[in-house]
């Protein structure tokens, strides 16, 4: 079934360009257009699109007002914001995420109409794919066909029966992450190689032997453990001196939900790479700073690293931590090439964290497309770092956390609600 898209923009040119871009994506049907939010609201009711491309600055009813109306009426439609690369555009986008927007793209500001169309198509394609994956995860699984009840003596003994609920080894971290996500639990799952203590969370409820799990209930196959996973250890010999977070699609909303739960007296610096373009990261920092006990700022080149401060990598630049001549730690902002097609890149930051804070850092991989950060956490784990990944059930896109779990070095798979608690516990 095609993904139905409604294009909402007040300019004829962008309605045409975005419509052509969306229609050129396989599996996408553009069901209509609207010149403002008021017209869009009427067409959402009648055309029932799956998702909007939504201009934020429009007359009569702007993008924010439309999102508020959608929320009031409980209309089931997603939204990808189409924002101008300006400070005002960044601020509006942050507010749009608060109102439930799925993701955003920026309007191209140069090139021919054909070049702009291709740029928009390239930006929309992975976001539509991610939206469909999220929609599929949320779809209720069909009930298993009823089977006659077998006599007790013939019911096969389930494979999980008799297993002690002890903590799994580090090599099975990825399997634990998959189990955590597919049972949609909000508890966290720890993986420990050297400890024989039981897990602090209850094991998932075993499946009923009289029902067959649906094939659609698990959108991704279980991640396979790495062949030579670094050992996870619950009793680290060194204290944690830094927290590093990598996040992408769905990140602004996830961060605004999670970061305020961190105490103002955390005692260590926090470094964040959120995949965003220039200007938008400044708006994100301002939004988080207004809601958090910690000081949150967009990082600047050569500034000294301080505890209880959150440093967000500037959009379009790379961020790393370096040592000054006196042994203090500094932020370095560079124009080094993109990694994993990302600038800022999670791997770029995590590589420096592994070097400057060997075994004394907590790495966190949260919602996002792709696999940025998977290499970085391996480097961090070699020194004994503590690694946390967000679970599938609470991710907007289970890409980066899935890739991280598949490395076999993740210590804890946690829901969005419990990530802050896990960070504090690791210190």
Indicate which residues carry an active-site annotation: 248, 275, 372
Q: How far apart are CA 28 and CA 37, in angstroms?
A: 22
Cβ within 8 Å of residue 290, ≥6 positions away: none
Task: Give dist(CA 300, CA 13) in Å, integer.
Answer: 37
Q: DSSP string covering 255-282, please?
A: HHHHGGGS-TT--S-EEEEE---TTHHH
Buried b / exposed e over 233-261, threshold 16 CB at 10 Å, is bbebeeebbbbbbbbbbbbbbbbbebbeb
Give the closest residue to 106 by CA, choosing from 82, 78, 79.
Answer: 82
Q: How far apart are CA 51 and CA 40, in angstroms?
A: 12
Cross-strand pairs, 9:
none
Q: Which of 339, 208, 348 is nearest to 271 (CA)?
A: 348
Q: Which residues contact 411 (CB under 8 A, 6 or more apart)?
A: 170, 173, 190, 191, 192, 232, 234, 386, 387, 388
Whole-Å CA distances, 209 to 180, 222, 318 = 20, 20, 51
Strand order in the sheet with 295-298: 189-190, 412-414, 386-390, 361-365, 242-247, 270-274, 309-312, 295-298
Q: Identify any residues that bridge with 247 across adjacent strands, giving them in sequence order.
A: 274
Query: 243 φ, ψ to 5°?
Result: -125, 130
Task: State the Cα torsion 221-227-228-229 to the nearest 10°.
Answer: 10
Q: Rounded to whole angstroms, what are the CA distances from 365 to 170, 175, 301? A: 17, 16, 24
Q: How are beta strands 318-323 and 295-298 bridged, if at all? A: unpaired
Q: Are strands 412-414 and 189-190 parallel, antiparallel or unpaired?
A: antiparallel
CA distance 333 to 346: 14
Q: What is the DSSP letter of 305?
A: P
């Amino acid at each position: 079934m095609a993904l139905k898209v409604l294009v909402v923009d007040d300019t004829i040119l962008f309605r045409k360009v975005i419509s052509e871009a969306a229609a050129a994506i396989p599996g996408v049907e553009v069901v209509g257009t609207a010149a403002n939010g008021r017209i869009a609201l009427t067409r959402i009711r009648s055309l029932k699109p799956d998702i909007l491309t939504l201009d934020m600055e429009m007359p009569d009813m702007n993008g924010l007002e439309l999102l508020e109306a959608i929320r009031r009426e409980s209309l089931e439609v997603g939204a990808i914001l189409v924002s101008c690369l300006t400070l005002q555009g960044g601020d509006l986008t942050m507010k749009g995420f608060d109102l439930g927007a799925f993701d955003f793209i920026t309007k191209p500001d140069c090139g021919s109409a054909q070049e702009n169309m291709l740029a928009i198509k390239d930006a929309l394609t992975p976001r539509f794919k991610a939206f469909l994956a999220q929609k599929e995860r949320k779809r209720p699984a069909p009930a298993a066909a009823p089977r006659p009840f077998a006599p007790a003596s013939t019911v096969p003994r389930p494979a999980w029966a008799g297993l002690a609920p002890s903590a799994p080894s580090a090599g099975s971290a990825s399997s634990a992450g998959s189990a955590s996500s597919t049972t949609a639990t909000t508890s966290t799952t720890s993986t420990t190689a050297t400890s024989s203590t039981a897990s602090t969370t209850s094991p998932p409820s075993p499946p009923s032997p009289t029902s067959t799990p649906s094939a659609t209930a698990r959108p991704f196959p279980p991640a396979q453990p790495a062949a030579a996973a670094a050992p996870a250890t619950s009793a680290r010999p060194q204290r944690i001196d830094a927290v590093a977070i990598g996040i992408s699609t769905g990140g602004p909303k996830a961060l605004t939900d999670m970061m305020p739960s961190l105490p103002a007296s955390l005692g260590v610096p926090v470094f964040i790479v959120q995949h965003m373009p220039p200007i938008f990261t400044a708006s994100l920092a301002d939004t988080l700073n207004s809601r958090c006990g910690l000081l949150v700022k967009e990082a600047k080149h050569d500034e000294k690293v301080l505890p209880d401060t959150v440093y967000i990598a500037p959009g379009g630049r790379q961020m790393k931590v370096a040592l000054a001549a006196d042994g203090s730690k500094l932020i370095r902002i560079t124009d080094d090439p993109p990694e994993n097609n990302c600038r800022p890149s999670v791997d770029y930051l995590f590589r420096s964290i592994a070097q400057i804070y060997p075994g004394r850092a907590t790495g966190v991989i949260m919602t996002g497309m792709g696999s940025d950060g998977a290499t970085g956490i391996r480097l961090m784990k070699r020194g004994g770092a503590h690694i946390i990944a967000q679970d599938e059930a609470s991710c907007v896109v289970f890409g980066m956390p899935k890739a991280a779990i598949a490395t076999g070095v993740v210590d804890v798979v946690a829901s969005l609600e419990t990530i802050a608690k896990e960070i504090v516990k690791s210190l």
